[in-house]
Amino acid sequence: MANIRDPHIPTSTVEEHHAGPNLKVYLMVFYSLAFLTAISFVVNFFLGPTATSAGIILLVAVVKAFLVGSIFMHLKFDWGKLYGIVIPVCVMAVMMMVVLMDDIVLYWHHH
């Protein structure tokens, strides 16, 4: 069925229900990711393989992961829906460990 807007609902009310980033936010995050990636390369180029450069690059990677997760993956806007995804995945992970535990134990015992 086609998504038809009710003519009795004002347009401003319909637009208020849209939760999520717009194109401007996506572009700002994209430019931020590009800039942070350039910082990682510059730090690696000038400092070389040192503990300081590794720390800086790791910090930049954490910031980039936060930006991607919160904006591109909509975690900032759809946090409530995340539970409907994470809980079944955790249950399936536990079930798989229980199912495969016999194979792991028996293989270890016989070899």
- Clarify whether residues 67 and 94 are in a common domain: no
Say which amino acid occupies 101: M
Residue 40 and residue 65 in contact, taking contact as beta carbons nearer than 8 Å: no
pLDDT at 86: 82
- Clarify whether residues 20 and 65 are in a common domain: yes
Number of structural domains (the chain) is: 2
pLDDT at 83: 77
Tokens of 32: 């931020």
- Clarify whether residues 15 and 35 are in a common domain: yes
- Clarify whether residues 65 and 94 are in a common domain: no
- Clarify whether residues 31 and 18 are in a common domain: yes
pLDDT at 40: 96
pLDDT at 9: 60
Say which amino acid occupies 73: M
Which range marks the domain in which residue 93 is found? Answer: 79-111
- Clarify whether residues 11 and 35 are in a common domain: yes
- Clarify whether residues 104 and 52 are in a common domain: no
- Clarify whether residues 70 and 83 are in a common domain: no
Q: For each of the chain's 111 residues, which pLDDT tens digit applies?
A: 555 666 666 555 545 555 677 889 899 999 999 999 999 999 999 999 999 999 999 999 999 999 998 888 877 777 777 778 888 999 999 999 888 888 777 766 666
- Clarify whether residues 35 and 71 are in a common domain: yes
Q: Give kind and range of the element (H or E) at residue 51.
A: helix 51-67
pLDDT at 92: 95
- Clarify whether residues 5 and 58 are in a common domain: yes
